Amino acid sequence: MSRELSATSGVRRIEIHPSLLAADFAHLADEIRDVEPFVDGLHLDVMDGVFVPNISFGPVVVEAVRRATRLPLHCHLMIAEPSQYISAFRDAGADTILVHIETLTDPVETIEDIKASGARVGITLNPETPTHRVQPWLPAVDELLIMSVHPGFGGQSFQPESLKRIRWAVHQRDVHGLALCISVDGGIGPANARQVAQAGADILVAGTSVFRAPDRRAAVDAMRGAHPFTVSPP
Ligand code: DX5
Ligand code: ZN
């Protein structure tokens, strides 16, 4: 992703990734075409009914989405054995593969496998999982996805404690000089996007607030702010 920070203008660009979970799956290609002109990537929620209490879709749908768009595809794997499916999702067209730390028995191996596949690698954690679980792996990944709801369903309320986690991630990035992209997923919309971005998020994932909005472009514009987000002074 383009984590552009201009020292002179003091502004940076926030990416908005709609979560397809809130789209109309009977018209998926149309839904994608509708948002494509004004979003930065698509977030695909893969759920297995084991790691999370819901089932969504797998590589077949990712492959169909790949044929419908050139947008970067970020596959959020909420599945019990992600390491077994990396090549399947990469072959289907995933540009970024995000795996939950709670599901990894050998994080080094999984991270290396994702890298070897050619995909960007992201690590994610549930709201109740302590941040020290992901800390050792931050230098090895491209992206940290902070869950701001319990995974499994769209349409939940943003958990405000997530803001502290975003600030923690920014601190880790700064202190250790990491090239880490920080993304946040769950309950994000025009009402809180600015707060999430100002805490330091680079990517905002938003399902309900985009696909269920009466005017999707206006919702995304509102999340970006009328002007680029101003970076708070250190
Ligand atoms: C939750 C998913 C989220 C969800 C976001 O398990 O990981 O990506 O679809 O949806 P909203 O924006 O509706 O909370
Ligand atoms: Zn997600």
CA neighbor of 192 nearest in space, from 212, 163, 213, 215: 163
- CA angle 22–162–224, rounded 5-degree value: 55
Q: What spacing in Å lies between the alpha carbon of 222 and ligand 2's midpoint?
A: 21
Amino acid at 62: V
To 10 degrees, what angle do helices 28-35 and 216-224 make?
40
Q: Is 183 part of any domain?
A: yes
C-alpha closest to that of 123 among 177, 175, 182? 182
pLDDT score recorded for residue 225: 86
State how far the Cα of 197 lies from the Cα of 223, in Å rounded to an integer. Answer: 9
- In three-state secondary structure terms, 79 is coil
Residue 228 CB–ligand 1 contact under 6 Å:
no
pLDDT digits (tens, 9 = 90+) for 16-46: 999 999 999 999 999 999 999 999 999 999 9
Residue 4, pLDDT > 70, answer no
Read off the pLDDT band of 10 (50, 70, 90). Answer: low
- Is 141 contained in some domain? yes
In a domain, residue 234? The reply is no
> In the chain, what is the greatest distance between 2 CA atoms, to the nearest angstrom?
48
How many whole angstroms from 101 Cα to the centroid of ligand 2? 14
The pLDDT assigned to 3 comes to 46
Decide which of 120 and 3 is more confident: 120
Amino acid found at 42: L
- Has 215 been annotated as catalytic? no
- What residues make up the domain containing 78? 15-224
Task: Count how many domains the chain has.
Answer: 1
Say if CB 3 and CB 218 are below 8 A apart: no
Within-domain flag for 233 = no
Would you state the structure tokens that stand for residue 59, as one six-digit string?
A: 């590589």
Ligand 2 center to residue 9 CA distance, Å?
32
Q: Evaluate whether residue 2 is within a structural domain.
A: no
- pLDDT band of residue 12 (cuts 50, 70, 90) is confident
**Is 9 a member of any domain?**
no
Verify whether residue 185 is a known catalytic residue.
yes
> What separation, in Å, do the N-terminal and C-terminal C-alpha atoms of the chain show?
23
Q: What is the mean pLDDT of residues 164-178?
A: 98
Q: Give 108-146 pLDDT, tens digit per residue.
A: 999 999 999 999 999 999 999 999 999 999 999 999 999
Catalytic one among 34, 45, 113, 142? 45
CA-based nearest residue to 73, from 50, 45, 49: 45
114 close to ligand 1 (CB < 6 Angstrom) = no
Provide the CATH number for the domain around residue 114: 3.20.20.70
Residue 155 forms part of a structural domain: yes
Instruction: Classify residue 231: in a domain, yes or no.
Output: no
Residues listed for the chain: 234
The string of pLDDT tens digits covering residues 52-108 is 999 999 999 999 999 999 999 999 999 999 999 999 999 999 999 999 999 999 999
pLDDT at 206 over 90: yes
Spatial CB neighbours of 128, under 8 Å, sequence gap ≥ 6: 150
Q: Average pLDDT for residues 152-159, to the nearest whole number?
A: 98
| pTM, to two decimals | 0.93
